[in-house]
Amino acid sequence: MPIWLAGLVAALFNVAFWFCMLGVQTWEQKTGRIPPRQKEFPYLQDFWTNGFVGDGIGLGLVDAAVAVTVYQRGFTTWMIVAVAAGMLLTVGFYKFATAPIHKPNWGFMDGGNITWGGRVHLVYFAVQATVATIGFVLLFALQIRGIPLAIGLSGIAAYLAALAADVAIGRLPAVKRG
């Protein structure tokens, strides 16, 4: 398999997963499982980070860079620890998203209630947290170089821009005021 194909498959998997989350959210909205989309109850696409810019483009580029590098260098046993780190980060996110201080949204409603979309998002979050952990270790070990490095850094920049946009419009931090 050509090396670039590993990156393309990873990026396409990310986009397919994102559209899966969007599809579950649409199903929940059409069947009345979640409230209508409004400023106080944002949907997936209302967030720059959760939307296509952050998750779709930013994380897709990071996924591509990590996939190409792992394909080049091979899977090593320390990457199993990254899975554990990804799971711990996911548990932390879950605890925050279901806490009373969290603003309700398409995946995590008031009272700690989690939607089907939220459940799918937790799986997505775990995968992305694991990939990001692997990516950061490879980055700091100077194992990502050349074009994969540029692609990965572009993805990080896109995600950070999305994060800044969410903060600027008040979507994040997702903490109730008062």
- Which parts of the chain have pLDDT scores under 70? 177-178
Can you give the pLDDT at residue 111?
Answer: 83
Angle (CA) 98-178-166 rounded to 5° is 65
Residue 62: closest CA among 114, 1, 133, 123: 133
Q: Residues near 17 by Cβ (< 8 Å), separated by ≥ 6?
A: 124, 127
Residue 166: closest CA among 60, 13, 55: 55
Can you give the pLDDT at residue 178?
Answer: 58
Residue 140 main-chain phi, psi, to 5 deg: -75, -20
d(CA 56, CA 157): 13
Amino acid letter, 86: G
d(CA 75, CA 178): 48
Can you give the pLDDT at residue 25?
Answer: 97
pTM of the predicted structure, to 2 decimals: 0.92
Asked if 135 and 70 touch (Cβ cutoff 8 Å), the reply is: no
